[in-house]
A = this chain, B = another copy of it.
Amino acid sequence: MRTRFQEGLDELKDKLLRMGGLAERSVEQAIAAYRQHDAKFCEDVFQTEHAINVAEREIDELALDLLAMQQPMASDLRFILAVIKINGDLERVGDQAVNIVQRVLDELESPVGEMPADIPRMGTLAAGMIREALEAFIHADADLAQRVLLRDNDVDRMKREVELAMVRQMQRAPEYIQPALDTLLIARNLERMADHATNIAEDVIFWVRGFDIRHHAAEE
């Protein structure tokens, strides 16, 4: 028979997975908004961000209730703390999606055609990293989490490539400066989303393996 505490832990996991689905959706919606140059898609991102903020608070409250409910075992404690941290990272993914569509909205007034940067591919990579980091969390799979860490390097590299390409665009003609800057900053938003996925993967490894790899990974 499951105790109320164990049921609470299951509920916490379910809520976090739904939150992860929302965060992933916000990335996809932001990329759609960027591709379509459409205010309607931007509105979707604002709505998703609102849902993310509501979910974040519910998860934190449930986690706090569970910690107060009984003396958790060390592994449950690490699990609950991992949820609290992952929750914070997912919420920030939503913030980044909002930053992207704010740039898209600014651009609606003065569209200047496509920039030579594969923003959709970066978005797909970042969304995939978030999804895999959460899969690693569901299955307590530290190896999968480790693979997410490696993919962060790809996103970093793409971000640097976009930056170089956009500086070249800017140098070509003044009318490219603002749109190239917008694209460069959107690439940075996507790279920060991938960083949040990386943080999540690190929290999963901490929870599963019981030791902290954060700054080991950083120093490698």
Contacts and interface: CB of A to CB of B under 8 A. Distances in A.
B178 A167 contact: yes
Query: How many protomers of this protein does the assembly include?
Result: 2
A88 interface: yes
Contact of A214 (B57, B77, B171): B57
A74 B68 contact: yes
Contacts of A167: 177-178, 181
B57 A77 contact: no
A78 interface: yes
A169 B12 CA distance: 50
Contacts of A170: 170, 174, 177, 181
A70 to B, nearest CB: 7
Given A81-B84, A85-B88, A71 B70 contact: yes
Given A64-B78, A84-B81, A215 B177 contact: no
A178 to B, nearest CB: 6
Interface string A165-179: 001001100100110
A174 B177 CA distance: 10
Given A171-B174, A178-B167, A77 B68 contact: yes
Interface of A: 53-54, 56-57, 60-61, 64, 67-68, 70-72, 74, 77-78, 81, 84-85, 88, 167, 170-171, 174, 177-178, 181, 184, 212, 214-215, 218
Q: Which 4 A-B pairs have the closest CB atoms?
A: A53-B215, A171-B174, A170-B177, A71-B71
